[in-house]
Amino acid sequence: MSEARRAQITSATITVLARRGYAGTSFEAICRQAGLSSKRLISYHFADKEELLATVARVVREEEAAFVRRAVEAAGASDFAARLAAYIRARLDFAAARPEHVRALRQIVCNTREAASDGFPAGLFSEGQREGAFGAFDAEVMSTALRASIEALALSDDPRRVADDLVRLFERATRL
């Protein structure tokens, strides 16, 4: 029951963050969303708001990472351009499928010390360079540019078009 209750509170927090923003996310609002009788139920499972938000950030990142990992693995290990395209498309597909998760994570990152980075693209760029699939560039700079582009456009009205444009852009940027 304890894990189920934690998951219930986490899910309610995602909804409240996405709809009301960081400032509007109180234990009272979370209780209402989760259908809990008392905010002590939240305090029993989480030491404070900081721990709750760190848990929400971890849960959202884990869900997104699993979603993205499946897509990238399906692209094949040796085709770095396909893996990069799969990464871009999967990140945008996740945002389209789970917009409240993306909005909630944004609220946490913008209002706490939680880091925004997932670290994945830098490793993909570096590995692609070592294997001769990508040209010379700073992998960390390219990774930051890609993540910022995805984060800025993740909740667009046309995620497929955005994905196509970003794939073309980063294919050009990574060429030999």
Q: What crossing angle do the helices spanning 99-111 and 80-97 adopt, rounded to 10°?
A: 90
Predicted confidence band at 36 (pLDDT cuts at 50, 70, 90)?
very high
pLDDT exceeds 80 at position 118 = no
Task: Average the pLDDT over 6-29 and give the result.
Answer: 97
Task: Average the pLDDT over 113-135 and give the result.
Answer: 85
pLDDT exceeds 80 at position 117 = no
Would you call 77 exposed, middle or buried from its count of C-beta atoms within 10 A (0-12, 13-18, 19+)? exposed
Task: Average the pLDDT over 77-93 and give the result.
Answer: 94
Please give the share of the chain, as a percent, with pLDDT higher than 90. Answer: 90
User: Is-above-0.85 flag for pTM?
Assistant: yes
Predicted confidence band at 62 (pLDDT cuts at 50, 70, 90)?
very high
Asked if residues 34 and 8 have their Cβ atoms less than 8 Å apart, the reply is yes
pLDDT exceeds 80 at position 115 = no
Task: Average the pLDDT over 116-137 and give the result.
Answer: 87
CB atoms within 10 A of CB 136: 7
Pick the CATH number of 2-174 from 1.20.58.110, 1.10.10.1100, 1.10.357.10, 1.20.1250.20: 1.10.357.10
Residues 20, 150: Cα–Cα separation, whole Å: 23
Residues 164, 75: Cα–Cα separation, whole Å: 16
User: pLDDT of 86-107, one tens digit each?
Assistant: 999 999 999 999 999 999 999 9
Domain boundaries, the chain: 2-174
**Encoded tokens for 126:** 């570096």
CA–CA–CA angle 115, 7, 116 (5° rounding) = 10
Asked if residues 67 and 93 have their Cβ atoms less than 8 Å apart, the reply is yes
Task: Average the pLDDT over 79-85 and give the result.
Answer: 95
Task: Tell me how far apart the terminal alpha carbons of the chain are, to the nearest angstrom.
Answer: 54
Residues 173, 69: Cα–Cα separation, whole Å: 23
